Amino acid sequence: MSGDDNPIFQLFWTFALISLFAIGGAVAAIPELHRVAVDVRHWMTDKQFADAFALSQLSPGPNVLIVALIGYSVAGVAGAAVATIAMCGPTAVLSYFVSRWLANAREARWSGVLQAA
């Protein structure tokens, strides 16, 4: 089974890439999530996506819940877990390493200028 046939692999790479390029959080990525889930991958219909979006907005918790709902519709509980990890993981790891790098460079003049901007 190649990576293109595996829905878990597709979910992971799709949401990992969206998370790295989405500035503004999960809500800012909704149009791209819709395009990929409905038009490109055909994981769900327009109505299913609208229902998932409404449910994610009505439910308490983070706005990223829609990702879990999309993942669940594609591959069940495993899909929900993979989609959520893929949407949150890459940016969390990137933020961790950038903060460590800035902490190590705290004494440099450019670091103070960058943080003041």
pLDDT at 1 (0 to 100): 46
Prediction pTM value: 0.83
Domain ranges of the chain: 7-91
Residue among 22, 2, 1 at smallest CA distance from 87: 22
- Higher-confidence position of 112 and 74: 74
| Cβ–Cβ < 8 Å for 59, 69 | no
Q: If you write DSSP's letter for every residue of 75-103 in order, what string do you get?
A: HHHHHHHHHHHHHHHHHHHHHHHHHHHHH
Q: If you write DSSP's letter for every residue of the chain in order, what string do you get?
A: --TTT-HHHHHHHHHHHHHHH-TT-TGGGHHHHHIIIIIIS--S-HHHHHHHHHHHHHSSS-TTHHHHHHHHHHHHHHHHHHHHHHHHHHHHHHHHHHHHHHHHTTTSHHHHHHHH-
pLDDT at 9 (0 to 100): 96
pLDDT digits (tens, 9 = 90+) for 2-27: 566 899 999 999 999 999 988 887 78
pLDDT digits (tens, 9 = 90+) for 22-81: 888 778 899 999 999 999 999 999 999 999 999 999 988 888 899 999 999 999 999 999
CB within 8 A of 88, min separation 6: which ones?
A: 19, 64
